[in-house]
Amino acid sequence: MILKRIVLFFAAALLSSGLANALPDEGMWLPMLLKQLNEADMQQKGLKLSAEDIYSINQSSLKDAIVSFGGFCTGEMISPEGLLLTNHHCGYGQVQAHSTVENDYLTKGFWAMNREQELPNPGLTATFIVRMEDVTKQVLSGIPATATEAAREAAIQKNIARVRSEAIAGTDYNAIIRPFFYGNEYYMYVTETFRDVRLVGAPPSAIGKFGGDTDNWMWPRHTGDFSIFRIYAGPGNKPADYSPNNKPYKPKHHLPISLNGVTEGDFTLVFGFPGRTSEYLTSHAVQEIYEVSNPAKINIRDTKLRILDKDMKASDAVRIQYAAKYASIANYWKKWIGENRGLQKANTIARKQQLEQQFQQWAATNDKRQQQYGNLMADFEKNYRSLDGITISRDYITEAALGIELIKQAADYMKLQELLDKKASESLINSTADQLADAAAGFYKNYNAPTDKKVFAALMALYYNDIDPKLHPEVFKTVQQQYKGDFEKYADAVYGKSFFTSEAGVKEAMAAIKAGKTQVLKNDPAFQLASGIVSHYRANILPTYTQVNDNLNLLYRTYMTGLREMQQDKKFYPDANSTLRVAYGEVEPYEPLDGIKYKYYTTLEGVMEKAAMEGIEDYVIPARLKELYEQKDYGPYGVNGEMPVAFIASNHTTGGNSGSPVINAHGQLIGTNFDRNWEGTMSDISYNPDQVRNIAIDARYMLFIVDKFAGAGHLVQEMTLVTDDTSGLAHVDSKRKSSEKEAKKEKKKEKKRKRKEKEPAL
Ligand code: ARG
Ligand code: GLU
């Protein structure tokens, strides 16, 4: 312990002396500010490109190869003909949608052997960033400093609408404007969204999801988590709805793929769309997350997962119905567990408290500051205290009550009841009833009422017992009076009577409503409970929650201003908000626990080791993969008889970065991001450089699976594979040069014209 402190002390001393200008790898940076904030640091860390090569609006740059995939993941262009690389878990829904019992692409994988076989996916989009712009001035114009938060917000929305529509007038672009640093700054992203995105290839789940939930959030990792799509465009290479006449999109840039792989210490960059982080929360908020929210949510999901697991093990039908739901519930359940451990290990709460004390002291050093920031910490404290019981109630409503499928389902019908109450027109009521009945089909295909009933009894009991009775919904009185708090009995009654337990029941009820029986919903016990809980939420939780969050937003806006004033040498990056960002770091091993050091890469050897463990379903592999391993048939993708599979680096990433390209110092693709290590999941709240690593599939493993495993070498031929260090922009350099030539020619012409103009007319 003492030794560790001494080391820390020296490390700190070192940092404050010579190495001060090297930033830690923390940060998700705005592409348009790289030149100003990061270029020097990135180059010092090994980047061979300029900021302009990464993000430019005048010439093609790396950003032209990056898309937001469906709005929830990232993807990158890897061929001049619109091939898009992303994760298997990002394309999972599409692969599943195309799968049938006879053609089970999830299990067997899917490979289009020619363009005709590529499969359209209605609703799936790929969005490029055309340019971004600082619009703070325009968005905040005409807003007095004294405006209330509500008035300010209303004025901002008006300004945003104006700025947006001006920016995209006469184009088929879209634009989004988002607050950064809690509304201290606003940036606009002008976007171009393609709507014809087809499935090209996906490995079997035994490769693409290898390790499943057992390995999720973990390193060492062996998942071939990738899938391939293709963007199609209409006339003029422009976005169009699906049409057989559409042509493969020609991107302004696609990433060349390096066959050289990675070595410890290599510079890496992740370019993508991180979803959400909260790095500037005060200690009060982190304490609430750590002590109250996370433990509660973990416990609720834990309870639910146990029930699902038991029923899934007992029945194949239930297993198939609940596989995807189980994975998605387990994903954040596991993340929160890791997050709490990481917060504890890094001593985050104490460190935040220290910073807040330092802030207080700094504020006290002069009158103006004292006036502006002196009460800030006390105000935070007060506001967070007024959320006592509110945040946790909200957690139980979203996680426990609405975590019960029947309740969630019934709650969706509240809009229909509202129409009935309002005596809306018959046609509106009927069409709403029809829509709900249609949507029900998809839901009930994967619904098993007996399983859900067990979840109901367990989760309702948690809600009832864990939440202060003062904050109970009215309907809980019934449980008390009629069922004496016995949730099994209550479940029997609800599931015995509610029409929401089956699709047929819903269809019948909707038909009855259309026939004028307006009491059907109100008489249903699941509906009564759902609407009771939601109404309670709207009446007793939401108003305080909204009010306090408005207050907090102002406090955080002020705090950000103050922090940036206090730490003038520090470079600040805004929290993730699903906008395009650059993270950079290096390929780096780590020590998760005393005595353990993890290498920075894994190989096919490890896949075989895991596959040899008996009885772990997540580790079953296709026979063909084993064959290739035994023959060491790795083509040009292996190194020294080994097949690299995944690697880690210290890039700051979060959910939404899935599918993001990991790019080397030369602008070449070396991997695709798909996860974070468990020890590092607290980086959404506080980045610990010691422990945080992003996990990527090695690009060579992707190529090996496409070419050697799937025999889809025609796809590899479309890609640009490189083995030298020439810039990742080399193949666009020729394009760039020719456009420079064009520009020069234009200039000459212009000069000539001007000279002519000057010549006296004859
Ligand atoms: N943890 C990764 C991410 O947050 C992968 C999730 C999908 N994989 C899984 N086994 N559930 O989204
Ligand atoms: N798997 C995550 C995603 O879907 C990325 C992991 C993370 O949260 O860093 O975006």
Q: Is 327 in the pocket of ligand 1 (CB under 6 A)?
A: yes
Give the CA distances from residue 459 to residues 296, 321, 324, 464, in Å, rounded to whole numbers and listed in that order.
11, 20, 20, 9
79, 205, 293, 658: the active-site residue:
658
Dist. CA 216 → ligand 1 center (Å) = 6
Dist. CA 342 → ligand 2 center (Å) = 17
Q: Which residue has the tokens 């634009």?
A: 175
- 253 catalytically annotated: no
User: So what's the pLDDT on residue 749?
Assistant: 63
pLDDT in tens, 402-445: 999 999 999 999 999 999 999 999 999 999 999 999 999 889 99
pLDDT in tens, 700-718: 999 999 999 999 999 999 9
Nearest ligand to the C-alpha atom of residue 657: 2
Range ranked top by mean pLDDT from 138-147, 439-448, 453-462, 752-761: 453-462
pLDDT band for position 146 (cuts 50, 70, 90) = confident
Helix (H) or strand (E) holding 494: helix 487-497
Q: 430 near 516, Cβ under 8 Å?
A: no
Quote the crossing angle between the two packed helices 294-314 and 449-466, to the nearest 10°.
160
Cα Rg of the chain (Å, integer): 28
pLDDT in tens, 263-316: 999 999 999 999 999 999 999 999 999 999 999 999 999 999 999 999 999 998
Alpha helices in 289-425 (DSSP H): 294-314, 316-345, 348-363, 367-373, 376-385, 390-395, 405-411, 414-421
Q: For ligand 1, atom 6, name the residue with the nearest CA.
A: 331
Residue 498 pLDDT more than 50? Answer: yes
User: So what's the pLDDT on residue 752?
Assistant: 63
User: So what's the pLDDT on residue 100?
Assistant: 84
pLDDT in tens, 227-274: 999 999 999 999 999 999 999 999 999 999 999 999 999 999 999 999
- The amino acid present at 317, given as its one-letter code, is A
Interatomic CA distance for residues 384 and 284, integer angstroms: 7
Q: For ligand 1, atom 7, name the residue with the nearest CA.
A: 89
User: So what's the pLDDT on residue 483?
Assistant: 92
- 225 catalytically annotated: yes
Q: For ligand 1, atom 4, name the residue with the nearest CA.
A: 655
What number is the average pLDDT over the span 458-486? 93
Q: Is 655 in the pocket of ligand 1 (CB under 6 A)?
A: yes
Nearest ligand to the C-alpha atom of residue 221: 1
- The amino acid present at 132, given as its one-letter code, is M
Number of the ligand 1 atom closest to the C-alpha atom of 675: 2
Q: For ligand 1, atom 5, name the residue with the nearest CA.
A: 675
Quote the crossing angle between the two packed helices 348-363 and 542-566, to the nearest 10°.
70
pLDDT in tens, 11-43: 444 444 334 445 678 999 999 999 999 999 999
pLDDT in tens, 47-63: 999 999 999 998 999 99
What number is the average pLDDT over the span 208-231? 97
Interatomic CA distance for residues 229 and 75, integer angstroms: 9
Asked if the bond preceding 661 is cis, omega within 30° of 0, the reply is no
Q: Is 676 in the pocket of ligand 2 (CB under 6 A)?
A: yes
Q: For ligand 2, atom 1, name the residue with the nearest CA.
A: 675
User: So what's the pLDDT on residue 687?
Assistant: 96
User: So what's the pLDDT on residue 4?
Assistant: 43
What number is the average pLDDT over the span 533-557? 96
Q: Is 656 in the pocket of ligand 2 (CB under 6 A)?
A: yes
Q: Is 658 in the pocket of ligand 2 (CB under 6 A)?
A: yes
What number is the average pLDDT over the span 681-686? 98
Q: CB-hemisphere CA count at 13 Å for 211? A: 22
Nearest ligand to the C-alpha atom of residue 332: 1
Q: Is 675 in the pocket of ligand 1 (CB under 6 A)?
A: yes
Dist. CA 654 → ligand 2 center (Å) = 5
Q: Is 657 in the pocket of ligand 2 (CB under 6 A)?
A: yes
User: So what's the pLDDT on residue 8?
Assistant: 44
Number of the ligand 1 atom closest to the C-alpha atom of 676: 1
Q: Where are the beta strands (DSSP E) in 51-173?
A: 66-69, 73-77, 83-86, 110-111, 119-120, 126-134
23 closest CA partner among 43, 2, 53, 52: 43
Nearest ligand to the C-alpha atom of residue 215: 1
User: So what's the pLDDT on residue 729?
Assistant: 75
Dist. CA 681 → ligand 2 center (Å) = 10
Helix (H) or strand (E) holding 231: strand 227-233
Which of 68, 69, 219, 657 has most ligand 2 atoms within 8 Å of its beta carbon, as the pocket-test mutant? 657
pLDDT averaged over the chain? Answer: 93
Q: For ligand 2, atom 6, name the residue with the nearest CA.
A: 675
Q: For ligand 1, atom 3, name the residue with the nearest CA.
A: 675
Q: For ligand 2, atom 9, name the residue with the nearest CA.
A: 654
User: So what's the pLDDT on residue 754?
Assistant: 56
What number is the average pLDDT over the span 165-183? 97
pLDDT in tens, 369-395: 999 999 999 999 999 999 999 999 999
What number is the average pLDDT over the span 325-330? 93
User: So what's the pLDDT on residue 20?
Assistant: 42
What number is the average pLDDT over the span 639-660? 97
CA angle 129, 135, 137 (to 5 degrees): 175
The secondary structure of 693-708 as a DSSP string is: -EEEEEHHHHHHIIII
- 658 catalytically annotated: yes
Number of the ligand 2 atom closest to the C-alpha atom of 676: 9
Number of the ligand 2 atom closest to the C-alpha atom of 331: 1
88, 89, 222, 253: the active-site residue:
89
Dist. CA 334 → ligand 1 center (Å) = 10
Q: For ligand 1, atom 2, name the residue with the nearest CA.
A: 675
Dist. CA 659 → ligand 2 center (Å) = 9
User: So what's the pLDDT on residue 742?
Assistant: 57
User: So what's the pLDDT on residue 674?
Assistant: 98
pLDDT band for position 751 (cuts 50, 70, 90) = low
Buried b (16+ CB within 10 A) or exposed e, 177-214: bebbbbbbbbbbbbbbbbbbbbbbbbbbbbbbbbbbbe
Number of the ligand 1 atom closest to the C-alpha atom of 655: 4
Residue 741 pLDDT more than 60? Answer: no
Which of 653, 678, 694 has most ligand 2 atoms within 8 Å of its beta carbon, as the pocket-test mutant? 653
User: So what's the pLDDT on residue 5?
Assistant: 41
Q: For ligand 1, atom 11, name the residue with the nearest CA.
A: 327
Share of the chain above pLDDT 70, in %: 93
Number of the ligand 2 atom closest to the C-alpha atom of 694: 9
Number of the ligand 2 atom closest to the C-alpha atom of 658: 10
Residue 2 pLDDT more than 50? Answer: no
53 closest CA partner among 724, 699, 726: 726
